[in-house]
């Protein structure tokens, strides 16, 4: 895969994986002799095919250029999921309510005073 969006002097070639996806990225697949379309840019960012297909069927403004820009401006889905999992794992929950662990009695009195 070659990123030819910058200039002929700044071509970036990757043999495995993909280079950083920017909004104006233009990737050329050497082994298939074609360019990547916006839909494929979104797939590289981790978007599920089912959501992208639904967007293409439902919304007529979803063009190749829009998908290309969105992929370049998006945050990788797997990174978002990792952050959310870390947040949820770090929070103690029991039966749908937040549990305060290892709090001193004075801290609990402060919380009770604020809640009153």
Average pLDDT in the chain: 77
Using CA atoms, how far apart are residues 44 and 17, in angstroms rounded to an integer?
Answer: 9
Split at pLDDT 50, 70, 90, the class of 100 is low
* 101, 92 contact by CB (below 8 A): yes
Positive or negative torsion for Cα 105, 108, 113, 114: positive
Give the pLDDT confidence score for residue 45 in this predicted structure. Answer: 84
Element (H, E) at 34: strand 34-35
Q: Model pTM? A: 0.58
- What integer is the mean pLDDT of 52-69? 85
Please check the confidence at residue 14 and state whether its pLDDT lies above 70: yes
3-state secondary structure of 56: helix
The radius of gyration of the chain from alpha carbons, rounded to an integer in Å, stands at 23
Q: Nearest Cα to 64, choosing from 25, 8, 30, 18?
A: 25
């Amino acid at each position: 895969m070659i990123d030819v969006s910058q200039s002929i002097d700044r071509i970036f070639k990757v043999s495995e994986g993909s280079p950083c996806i920017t909004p104006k990225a233009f990737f050329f697949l050497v082994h298939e002799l074609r360019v990547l379309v916006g839909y494929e840019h979104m797939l590289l960012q981790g978007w599920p095919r089912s959501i992208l297909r639904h967007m293409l069927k439902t919304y007529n403004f979803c063009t190749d250029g829009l998908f290309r820009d969105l992929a370049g401006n998006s945050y990788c889905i797997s990174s978002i999921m990792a952050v959310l999992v870390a947040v949820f794992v770090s929070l103690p929950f029991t039966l749908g309510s937040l549990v305060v662990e290892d709090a001193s009695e004075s801290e609990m009195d402060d919380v009770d005073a604020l809640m009153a």
